[in-house]
Structure 1
């Protein structure tokens, strides 16, 4: 009996709330119809403002989602790049090495990074922009570790990096050392020569921008290079 009374009381409260809402809605509709000629500009304005607010919210939410996905992608890309050893880099094809260099550029905050992946690119294997907006052009050479980049390769890149590709920063990344003549050319013409030792630093987390002042250093003396060649040339 008490349960029935409680259910009956709850039902009465529900019906009272429903009737109140219906009554308020009816009154509002009646006012809207009666005074429509006077209030329609305000109704339209409120609808436009509401729509604009909805669009702004959607754009902001979409931008936040895109930025979040891009940040996670960069973090994962950095983890993948940092986990590679130089032995794994040596086992890559030249196409994979170009994509690997592009990964390192993206990890360091470069934008609009693209890989040419074709012959006849005139030395621009990877292009992009540094975080400060400067145009970046990278030449990649995947040579055996016991070899060295000859001066001829550097001469060709010097001839195209600045005039043809209009680079602000030009990088020559290789899996081996540079010959003395090639290294001297790079330093003279402002091209960052990323030899094997600097490539190892770049791979393990040193940003590209911090490698720029190290250009022309780090390859060791002649005895060091001879031991290097004897080790990797076997």
Structure 2
């Protein structure tokens, strides 16, 4: 107990001495600053100015970054809205009109000998044609509501016919719905089927070239040939 009391007293004395020393140092600094004000005040002003400018610069930088981020978000929203405006017109098409519209997109991008089956029993070949480099293109068109998903069964049927039945070099599954199920997309990638969901279709509608869309989901494949005549 006595040892503890002695230790507490020692700590108090040490604390008082340190506080006294700090007060003496502060007083000495004030006296020195007053006597040497002509030297101190330019330094003090410079430090304060640097602090103010630094703070203002940081605020401006943060404001710029926020503005850039907001601008990018706004542009992305506008692009998405523009796609939806175009897709609203696509949504109004019948399934037969949708197949004809996809065929027109293929022709727009340089495909030749483009034909539309326009009937059931086409074994998944709704649109057939040839890319500019000669590869045979076979397209399955699914006119689904935006909230639906392309199922694995849909994809399996197309996989089973696109190449075995129609000799496709590029097999394109294009739909107006937003997603493919995980199983359907996995099958598309494994079997080299180009899976074009609503957003990619929207980009195609807005002017993206088919050749730039082919590598996005399944790389298309197929050896390049001489253009079909």
TM class by shorter chain equals: 0.5 to 0.7
C-alpha displacement of 1:179: 1.0
Q: If the length of structure 2 is used for normalisation, what is the TM-score?
A: 0.57
Secondary structure of 2:174's aligned partner:
strand
Q: Which residue of 1 aligns with 2:205?
A: 203
Structure 2 Cα separation of the partners of residues 191 and 208 of structure 1: 14
The partner residue of 2:196 within 194, 197, 202 is: 194
Q: Which moved more, 1:124-133 or 1:179-188?
A: 179-188
Corresponding residue number in structure 1 for 2:4: none
* Bigger RCO (CA 8 Å, 6+ sep): 2
Off by >4 Å, runs of 4+ in structure 1: none
How far apart in 2 are the matches of 1:119 and 1:88?
24
Q: In structure 2, how many angstroms separate the alpha carbons of the residues matched to 1:163 and 1:196?
A: 27
- Matches for 1:146-165 after TM superposition, within 5 Å: 146-165=147-166
Partner SS, residue 149 of structure 2: coil
**What residue is the counterpart of 1:131 in the other structure?**
132
Structure 1 residue 213 displacement after superposition: 1.6
Q: How does 1:62-211 map to 2 (within 5 A)?
A: 85-176=86-177, 177-211=179-213
Query: How far does residue 97 in structure 1 lie from its aligned partner after superposition?
Result: 0.4
SS of equivalent residue, structure 1 residue 127: strand
Aligned length: 134
Cα deviation, 1:96-126, whole Å, max 9, x if unaligned, reads 0000100100000000000000000000000
1:42 matched to which residue of 2? none
Q: Give the match's secondary structure for 2:214.
A: helix
| Matched position secondary structure for 2:122 | coil
How many angstroms does 1:180 deviate by? 1.1
Write the deviation string for residues 128-185 of structure 1: whole angstroms up to 9, x where unpaired.
Answer: 0000011100000000000011000000000001111000100000001211111111
Alignment of 1:209-220 (within 5 A): 209-215=211-217
CA distance in 1, matches of 2:199, 2:186: 17
The structure with more radius of gyration? 2
Find the counterpart in structure 2 of residue 16 from structure 1: none
TM-score with structure 1 length normalisation? 0.56
Structure 1: gaps of 5 or more residues: 1-81, 217-234
1:36-55 paired onto structure 2 within 5 Å: none
Query: Take 2:139 and 2:197, find their aligned partners in 1: how far apart are those partners?
Result: 13
